[in-house]
Amino acid sequence: MILFIFLSLYLFPSNVERSLAIVENPAGIGLHQGIEMSYLYRNNSFLFTLNRAGYGIGFRGDTIDYYTGSTLFNYLDRFSFGVGYLSKYNTTLVGTVLRPISGLSIGAVLRFPPVNAELSGCIGLSVRPIGERLTLSGKGDLSYGKIIRFNSKNIMADIEPIDGINIGAGYDFDNRKWVGKLTLSLGHLRALITDNCDRNRDFAITASLVPYASFFKSFPHSVIVKIEGDYPETPTRIGLLGRSKCFVDLLSLLKEISNRTYIKKVLILLNRNTLGIAQAEEVRGLIKNLSLKKEVIAYSNSLTLKNLYIGSACNKIVIPPSGEVYFPGISITKQYFKGALDKLGIKPQFVRIGKYKSAVESFLRGDMSEADKEQLTAYLNDIVDVVVGDISKSRNIDMQKLKSCVDSIGYFTASEAVKYHLVDTLMYLEQLKKTEKISENARAFRGKVVPRGFIFGVKPKIAILVAEGTIVQGKSQKSPIPIPFFGEKSLGAESFINTINELKKDRRIKGVVLRVNSPGGDALASDLMWQSLRELMEKKPVVVSMSNVAASGGYLISSYGGKIFADKTSLTGSIGIFGGKFVTRDLYKKLGITHSTVKWGRHADVLSGNRPFDEFEIKRMERIIGAGYGQFLDRVSEGRKLNKSYVDSVGRGRIWSGLSAKSVRLADENGGLEDAIEEIKRESGIKGSVMLDVYPMPRGIFENFLNIDSDYRFPLLELLDSPYSYYSPLKVDIR
């Protein structure tokens, strides 16, 4: 028989997986797939499998013989289909694995030899009657000549009494011998040894990037967590197989460390990062809970206000003797372009509803209006109460004394920072590691191992649907360069609705967390997204989590979700609308450019920049804008179950902090993404752990390489084409 060369390892087509499946059943390559290499002693063969690709290749070290295999289809590890090829025998393998329930696996392989040779195959059956540690397997050969013949080959019972040690005993019907098997795992290295009564031994050594359960456990007493760089809400693709970190990854890491009882000490390295204020608030909350269970130390070369805010949740803060603490206060600065537009000959013509709808004031005024100053001051006061209040409480500093230090000192030397109790100790990082006995390479063991169970995809699945960027019609895009006022990301209604349609069809997804980080944008696009979320809620429960900003159109799409969670420092509200255009006629005149128009319809060129609105058009625009505002109020009233007149009283373009939004019933709870996940689990009736998937998925390698689509348009141009907008571009960065 063709595969006798591998029989000494006593593999079964029903439970062989990853690299060893190349020579037994190619359908098993993609089960619990990963990067792995195995060496087979008896045959001097090397086998390789690739991560997520379901593809494997092998060769014999002393010949030109090779093996290939690929899992072409895998559905949740319940049904898998694959093909392979053995060059020495010029034989094609076609295999399948069926796992209808968690304790049963059936595997079958057909071998297609050269012409005129006998067709053959094998069938395997594995059952786990009392859990995942006891496996009973059997295998028989099929041959297809004039008649179909079936021959029992071998049976085996495997038991794993402790992690990483698997003992097996079975019977080889062909040789009429009892067989013994031993598997030892050290995590990333695993050895499989077999023997029969004739002392006919064989073994295989496997090296895996993702570890197997190990009998040798060496868990770190201390870990280092670096908070640095970018933390977008959605990851981006890196290379062929990788992806960037995202905000959920940081939350998951901190939660994992909290659950690992063997970790006693955590060193948080606070470096430059792009966490927004609401993201920083949630991270700080997780670190605060962590500090109640373990010793948590924060270290930074120089502490900004944001990192001081995060670090104040730790049990101890350390900076070097040459370090500094920047605590000058918090400011919000807005740019005004009216003077520049006047000089250029550009006249903005806008209609807005809501005295607080200040987005267009940057073009209409030369300074901040009293209404805008009122709402920004209220928002700023809430931020101060949260950020400075938390620092004051954690560092045990009187609130008024801490506020007075902002004006009297602001920038603290290392010694002053210790004097005023902003930090505890002055020490260089290497000294701190040595003093606290923290290993240079200390890191948290994330608990990810090759699964023991037949079926990996049995955990209920929660989708985190991220709505991030300026809302526009069409597809979501990312600008190759950041654009002031409009940002670098656009949230396309078409892309968003397509993602929602995927979620509605996916039966594995039990609930959705809508994660909003958007200042709004195009009014029509916002309404289309609102309607798609309404349809999603008819099929699955939805909970909303507001990130740094969920304002205007960003609030509209949040309003029809279920429970709304907003961090205290989230910027939200801004229920208002504006619309209009820029008249560029005088600019063109200065440049010596003139226009002539032929039109059918008196108002055919109403949105042209070549002329201003006439009196009739202004009245029509006011009516359209009024209808748009009324629709905004209707949507929020329906979603939040509030009286329309009440929504108007807290609307009119006014922004709110998440803290105040709760008090005016625009949000239900103050909390972050983790709180929203726990709520959607409760509403979905899920107990225990879940699978979390962030949508939309990272872009493909070619899209990522090209960065922008052929029809890319900057968010600025998209919004200028919009007749009216739900937009609030205010962004608050606390550095």
Backbone angles phi, psi at 220, to 5 degrees: -70, 140
233 or 73: which leads in pLDDT: 233
| Tokens coding 133 | 């540690």
pLDDT at 702: 44
CA distance linking residue 300 with residue 318, whole number of Å:
7
Q: Is residue 347 part of a domain?
A: no
Does residue 249 register a pLDDT over 50?
yes
The residue from 208, 232, 249 where one domain ends is 208
- Structure-derived torsion over alpha carbons of residues 653, 657, 663, 667, reported in degrees to the nearest 10: 80
The residue from 208, 239, 259 where one domain ends is 208
Q: Is residue 703 part of a domain?
A: yes
452 or 304: which leads in pLDDT: 304
Does 15 share its domain with 123? yes
CA distance linking residue 260 with residue 221, whole number of Å:
10
CB 71, CB 81: distance < 8 Å = yes
Does 109 share its domain with 181? yes
Q: Which amino acid is at 704?
A: N
Could you list the residue range(s) of the whole structural domain that residue 139 is in?
Answer: 2-208
pLDDT at 276: 93
Does 201 share its domain with 258? no
**SS3 (DSSP) at 311:** helix
CA distance linking residue 317 with residue 287, whole number of Å:
13
Q: How many domains does the chain have?
A: 3
**Where are the extended beta strands (E) located within 493-541?**
509-518, 520-522
What is the secondary structure of 5-61 as a DSSP string?
A: GGGGG---TTT--GGGGGTT-GGGTTTT---EEEEETTTTEEEEE-TTT-EEEEEET
For residue range 276-287, list pLDDT tens digits in order.
999 999 999 999
Give Cβ neighbours of residue 197 (< 8 Å, ≥ 6 apart). 177, 178
Q: Please, what's the largest Cα pairwise distance for the chain?
A: 103
Does residue 446 register a pLDDT over 60?
no
Taking alpha carbons only, the member of 183, 688, 167, 132 closest to residue 455 is 132
Characterize the bridge pairing of strands 577-583 and 347-353: antiparallel
The residue from 208, 237, 264 where one domain ends is 208
CA distance linking residue 665 with residue 687, whole number of Å:
29
Q: Is residue 181 part of a domain?
A: yes
The predicted model gives 199-220 an average pLDDT of 78
Give the pTM: 0.77
pLDDT class of 701 with cuts at 50, 70, 90: very low
CA distance linking residue 232 with residue 517, whole number of Å:
10
Rounded alpha-carbon distances, angstroms, from residue 340 to 262, 296, 581: 61, 51, 16
CA distance linking residue 210 with residue 331, whole number of Å:
47
CA distance linking residue 188 with residue 164, whole number of Å:
11
Q: Is residue 450 part of a domain?
A: no
pLDDT at 5: 41
For residue range 179-200, list pLDDT tens digits in order.
888 888 888 888 888 877 666 7
pLDDT at 213: 80
Q: Is residue 363 part of a domain?
A: no
Does 200 share its domain with 227? no
Backbone angles phi, psi at 174, to 5 degrees: -65, -45
The predicted model gives 208-217 an average pLDDT of 79
Does 279 share its domain with 199? no
Does 187 share its domain with 305? no
Share of the chain above pLDDT 90, in %: 49
Does 125 share its domain with 240? no
Does 60 share its domain with 127? yes
Q: Look-up: residue for tokens 């031993």?
A: 182
Does 146 share its domain with 269? no
Does residue 519 register a pLDDT over 70?
yes
Q: Is residue 400 part of a domain?
A: no
CB 705, CB 238: distance < 8 Å = no
Does residue 7 register a pLDDT over 50?
no
CA distance linking residue 334 with residue 375, whole number of Å:
13
Q: Is residue 664 part of a domain?
A: yes
What is the secondary structure of 415-477 as a DSSP string?
A: HHHHHTTS-SEE--HHHHHHHHT--TT-----------SS-STTS-EEEEEEEESEEESS--E
pLDDT class of 8 with cuts at 50, 70, 90: low
Alpha helix ranges (H) inside 312-442: 338-344, 361-364, 370-395, 399-408, 414-419, 429-436
**SS3 (DSSP) at 312:** coil
pLDDT at 464: 95
Does 197 share its domain with 296? no
The predicted model gives 485-502 an average pLDDT of 85
CA distance linking residue 681 with residue 684, whole number of Å:
5
Q: Is residue 588 part of a domain?
A: no
pLDDT at 729: 56
Lowest mean pLDDT among 25-39, 148-162, 480-494, 715-729: 715-729
Measured from the Cβ of residue 458, the count of other Cβ atoms closer than 10 Å reads: 13
Measured from the Cβ of residue 544, the count of other Cβ atoms closer than 10 Å reads: 30
CA distance linking residue 398 with residue 401, whole number of Å:
5
Does 423 share its domain with 567? no
Give Cβ neighbours of residue 521 (< 8 Å, ≥ 6 apart). 470, 471, 472, 490, 491, 552, 553, 715, 718, 719, 722, 725, 726, 727
pLDDT class of 723 with cuts at 50, 70, 90: low
What number of CA atoms fall less than 13 Å from residue 401's CA on the CB side? Answer: 11
Residue 265's domain is classified under what CATH number? 3.90.226.10
Does 654 share its domain with 559? yes
pLDDT at 45: 83
The predicted model gives 561-570 an average pLDDT of 93
Characterize the bridge pairing of strands 55-60 and 477-478: unpaired
CB 67, CB 93: distance < 8 Å = no
CA distance linking residue 679 with residue 685, whole number of Å:
10
- Structure-derived torsion over alpha carbons of residues 364, 368, 371, 376, reported in degrees to the nearest 10: 130
Taking alpha carbons only, the member of 295, 284, 237, 474 closest to residue 394 is 284
| Tokens coding 66 | 């090779």
The predicted model gives 504-513 an average pLDDT of 92
CB 35, CB 209: distance < 8 Å = yes
Residue 44's domain is classified under what CATH number? 2.40.160
For residue range 672-697, list pLDDT tens digits in order.
999 999 999 999 988 877 888 899 97
